[in-house]
Amino acid sequence: MVNFVNRDKNDIFGIPVLGFIFKNRIFLRILQTIILGLFLYAIYFGFINPTKEENLFTTGLFWGLFWPFFMVVTLSTLGRVFCGICPHGFIGKYITKFGLKKKMPKKLANPFIGVILLFLGWWFVYYMFPGLFKTPYASALFFLIMTVVAVVFYYIYDEMAYCKYICPIGTMTKVYSKVSFTKLETYTDNCQSCKTFDCASACSYNLKPFTFAKKNSIEDCTLCMDCSTACEAVAFKFKAPSNGLVKKFKVNKAEVWALILITAAISITMSFHHALGRSAIFEDFFWTKTARYFDGILNFGSIDTVGLFAFIYAVVISISLMMGGMYIASKIMNVDYEKTFYTLGYAIAPLFIVGGLSHVGEFFFYSYAHNITNGFNQAFSLGLDKMAPLASRKDAWVHIFNIFNHIAYIWAFILVAIRMKQLDTKRYLKILAFPFASALIVFYMSLNFYKAYVFSTYGANKSGHNHSSHQMKPNTNQYKAQ
């Protein structure tokens, strides 16, 4: 253990105010307790006020504050800091202390579980039943179930196994945090003579922060900062953006698949269904036509078939482009397919996490700001006047946030080029393979230009709303007759 270090200029722990926010134990405990309190109150509030009309707080907190700001914004910039104040991780550390401390069985110690839970249990259901999770009651029930599952896993298994393997956003936050411009590591010179390893003893996740720099990976670190209060040699540094993806590190297959599935489920499906679905020609797209065809021959009940087929097509296209593109690239470069796929697959990380900032920026003005304010006003009886949206889709200035979509694919192209350096082959072969290895990125880029073309040529549908959802499903017989 070390009691004093001369901190580097880029060490956040040495910067006034930021150092206090990220390292002060009392401040962090107060923050974690406030977040836990809000989380539990939002669940309770969701049960006693189950409908949207009487409850803006539960959905405002979960979907207007936690998801866009604590997840998308912080992950792409500061890294996994949300995990550090996550209510589940916070209570988990106490539960695991008096729990059974069993080893997680091998079958369950699989990060694919969390990825699949997020992909099928959340996004698949979300597109089929778009209104479901948006109600306060459903949101409260979902988070209550996840809390019960988390408590059971923390109690039975050690090393915060729930965070590592079961949490639906655990693997996602782990891989997307590599895009950020921060890194937790230690002053390795100070660590050389260390005999106590207090940093490792303080870590509930059984990690060794003094190995992070050498491995170029913070592994399952949730940036809870417990180790930083155990030893002064722990540092939290500003680095170049995506520093975690530039140098070599041990690849994790679940992480690459998490990137592909999340890009498909969020970036591509939303471009199909939510963006192009608002255009005047929404009936002409192949996912809408497929949905209308099946609506005519099968009864899907309350399922939003357009959302369902937009999701299915997005997933099939994304996986095909990744696998097919990487296969051709591997053949051109004469490099093993798996090595090509998992080395270069990480390069698509900016598509969702940086591109997603365009959605967060716009929706802050359309809905998040007033939903959060009105929700807190309602839940804590603040007596404020009801806040109106800060902007509407008709306000052209809000579209400035689209810039993040363009930054996202440029960033991803750069990462493909950088990560190609890890492949041992001739330079001209890498240049030839580049467009194939970037197939999904090229598709994402083209989709952005296509969306701009569609709206400038055909415009939005008259109401400006997504008309392809099941609520607006046209009379199928009438449609067939046309």
Instruction: List beta partners, residue 237.
Output: 11, 183
For residue 278, give both structure tokens: 């608002």
Beta carbons within 10 angstroms of residue 160's beta carbon: 27
Distance (Å, whole) CA 298 – CA 48: 38
With a CB cutoff of 8 Å and minimum separation 6, the contacts of 105 are none
Taking contact as CB under 6 A, which single stretch among the options 150-158, 204-212, 257-265, 461-469 is the one that binds ligand SF4?
A: 204-212
- Total number of residues that touch ligand SF4 (CB under 6 A): 27
> Both tokens of residue 442?
């090229």
Among 194, 319, 391, 410, binds ligand SF4 (CB under 6 A): 194
- Residue 291 found at the interface with ligand SF4 (CB under 6 A): no
Least distance CB 444 / ligand SF4 (angstroms): 32
Q: Decide whether 198 or 283 has the Cβ nearer to ligand SF4.
A: 198
Q: Report the residue number, 91 or 225, with the smaller CB distance to ligand SF4.
A: 225
Judging by beta carbons within 10 Å of its beta carbon (0-12, 13-18, 19+), is residue 53 exposed, middle or buried? exposed
Considering the rule CB under 6 A, would residue 173 count as an interface residue with ligand SF4? no
Residue closer to ligand SF4, measured from CB, 83 or 256:
83
CA torsion angle 25 154 170 233 (round to 10): 30
Across 299-310, b (16+ Cβ under 10 Å) vs e yields eeeebbbbbbbb
Instruction: Rule CB under 6 A: choose which of 43, 65, 118, 199 binds ligand SF4.
Output: 199
- Distance between CA atoms of residues 66 and 63, nearest Å: 6
Looking at residues 228 to 267 of the shown chain, list those that interact with ligand SF4 (rule: CB under 6 A).
231, 233-234
Do strands 234-238 and 182-186 pair parallel, antiparallel, or not at all (unpaired)?
antiparallel
Residue of the chain from 57, 124, 153, 210 that contacts ligand SF4 (CB under 6 A): 210
Is 190 a binding residue for ligand SF4 by CB under 6 A? The answer is yes
- Who's near 463: CB < 8 A, 6+ residues apart? none
**Nearest Cα to 264, choosing from 443, 68, 80, 75?**
443
- The smaller minimum CB distance to ligand SF4, of residues 139 and 173, is found at 173
Residue from 161, 184, 321, 439 touching ligand SF4 (CB under 6 A): that is 184
Residue 209 makes contact with ligand SF4 by CB under 6 A: yes
The residue to which tokens 């949101």 are assigned? 139
CA–CA gap between residue 381 and residue 361 (Å, rounded): 28
Compute the least distance from the CB of residue 462 to ligand SF4, in Å. 52
- Binds ligand SF4 (CB under 6 A): choice among 11, 159, 185, 226: 226
- Give the residue, chosen from 143, 205, 365, 376, that forms a contact with ligand SF4 under the rule CB under 6 A: 205
Give me the 2-31 binding string for ligand SF4, x by CB under 6 A, dash otherwise: x-----------------------------
Interacting residues with ligand SF4 (CB under 6 A): 1-2, 184, 186, 190-191, 194, 196-199, 202-203, 205, 207, 209-210, 221-227, 231, 233-234
